[in-house]
Amino acid sequence: MSALLHGDLGTSIVSSGYSVNQIIADKFPVSAQVGLIAIVFSCLVGIPLGILAAYKRGTAADRVVTTLSSLFSSLPGFLLAVVLLYAFGMWLHALPTSGLKSWQSYILPVAALSAGPASVLTRITRAALLDVLSQDFTRFLKAKGMGTRYILFKHALRNAAIPIVTTLGPLTAGILVGNLVVETVFSIPGLGSYMVRCVSQRDYPVIMGTTIFYTTFIVAILLVVDIVYGLIDPRIKLDE
């Protein structure tokens, strides 16, 4: 217990001699790298699509985006991973299916990892923007003669950023520490696939150690989210 408080998470009982700290130091960067690409990709796709759907609300474009996003956010992750693996890897032989040897090998895992978060971000962005656009101050902005696009990008988006960041925090934490299913399906040597192995081998110190690491990491991300709140909203002051 005192070792834990000093940051020592113990040693593996299966891979003898390996400390849990060493394992995390080896495996986490791999997961984090794929995860970081995936979360950036999710934001780049999800947020603009959400803005588009809100801007064109009620039109065909809005309906297509809304339907696709609810489809992808309800699709189980392992199903998408397996379908992608079969379609592009085994059937079309277009993309590598395992490991992370070339840049092409990132495509499928990143796609599998991003689909869910991207569609969640699309829905949150759309809903948050529509909520802001229905508020009184939007009407006053219109009464001041501000154009729709100006209102959307200068005012609505910043107001919508709070719910977006709130969702983004846990999503990022979840992706960065490594997705158990996606890493296993695509044989990525990250923390997620390693943990699956440890669970099947009952390597308790590693399971416990990585779980503690996960939790600490999520707490850290939530702290970052709180700091970002302070940057977006002047009503939230961090120094008081």
Partner 1 sequence: MAFGSKQTTAEVDTALVRSLQKVEAGQPLLQVRDLTVTVHARKGDYDVIHGVGFDVRTGEILGVVGESGCGKSLTMSAVMRLLPSNLETTGGTIAYRGVDLARLPERDMEVMRGGDLSMVFQDPMTALDPLYTVGSQMLETIERHLDKHGQEAREVAVDYLRRVGLSEPEKRMDQYPFELSGGMRQRVIIAIALCCNPSLLICDEPTTALDVTIQAKVLDLVRDLQRQMGNSVVFISHNMGVIATLCDRVIVMYGGRIVERGTVDDIFYRTTHPYTTGLLACMPTLEGPREEPLVPIPGMVPDPRKMPLGCPFAPRCPHCMKVCRQQVPPEFDLGGDHACTCWLCAARGTSGKLLQTPAVAGPLQKEAPHA
Stretch that binds partner 1, among 26-34, 92-100, 214-222, 231-239 (CB under 8 A): 231-239
Q: Give, rounded to a whole angstrom, the gap between the first and last alpha carbons of the chain.
A: 34
Give CA–CA dist 178/211, Å, rounded. 12
Which position has the token pair 């085994």?
90
Whether 51 and 152 have beta carbons less than 8 Å apart is answered as yes
Nearer to partner 1, 57 or 88 (CB): 57
- Nearest approach in angstroms of CB 127 to partner 1 is 17
Q: Are 159 and 42 in contact (CB under 8 A)?
A: no
* Backbone φ/ψ region at 228: left (φ over 0), alpha (ψ -120 to 50), beta: alpha
- Asked if residue 5 binds partner 1 (CB under 8 A), the reply is no
**208 forms part of the interface with partner 1 (CB under 8 A):** no
3-state secondary structure of 11: strand
Residues 121-180 that bind partner 1 (CB under 8 A): 135-137, 139-147, 154-155, 158-159
State the minimum distance, in angstroms, from the CB of residue 140 to partner 1: 4
Q: Does residue 238 touch partner 1 according to CB under 8 A?
A: no
Q: What are phi and psi of 19, to 5 degrees?
A: -85, 155
Q: Which residue type, as a one-letter code, is found at position 226? A: D
Q: Is 66 in the site for partner 1 (CB under 8 A)?
A: no
Tell me the number of residues near partner 1 by CB under 8 A: 20
Residue 166 CA to chain centroid, in angstroms? Answer: 12
Does 239 engage in binding with partner 1 (CB under 8 A)?
A: no
Stretch that binds partner 1, among 34-42, 65-73, 122-130, 230-238 (CB under 8 A): 230-238
Report the interface residues with partner 1, using CB under 8 A: 135-137, 139-147, 154-155, 158-159, 232-235
